[in-house]
Amino acid sequence: MSVKVQMYSTAVCPYCVRAEQLLKSKGVAEIEKIRIDLEPESRERMMQRTGRRTVPQIYIGETHVGGYDELVALERAGKLDPLLAGG
């Protein structure tokens, strides 16, 4: 996996943990986590970038996947693997 994965998260977010588990099960070795609970300016950046206030907010490459529900929907539709492969 060469595609970059970024995830905006907080320390106490069960959906962030589930999203990370799903991504790791798909072979993602590294997830760049941006902790919005530790860096208030990161929360502002996330809201401007995604238009959303909730975590997780996941980017695979340049694609904004959304949150955990959207990540699972991609997996169920068979579209997560190609996205992680960079396609």
pLDDT at 71: 98
Q: What DSSP string describes 29-48?
A: ---EEEETTT-HHHHHHHHH
Burial group, residue 68, by CB count within 10 angstroms (0-12, 13-18, 19+): buried
> Which CATH entry fits the domain spanning 5-84: 3.40.30.10, 3.50.30.10, 3.40.228.10, 3.40.1390.30?
3.40.30.10
pTM metric for this prediction: 0.94
Confidence of residue 7 (pLDDT cuts 50, 70, 90): very high
Residue 51 has pLDDT above 70, yes or no: yes
pLDDT at 79: 97
Helix (H) / strand (E) element for 5: namely: strand 5-9
* Alpha helices, DSSP H, located in the chain: 14-25, 40-50, 68-76, 80-84
Which tokens in the block code for residue 46? 């996330």
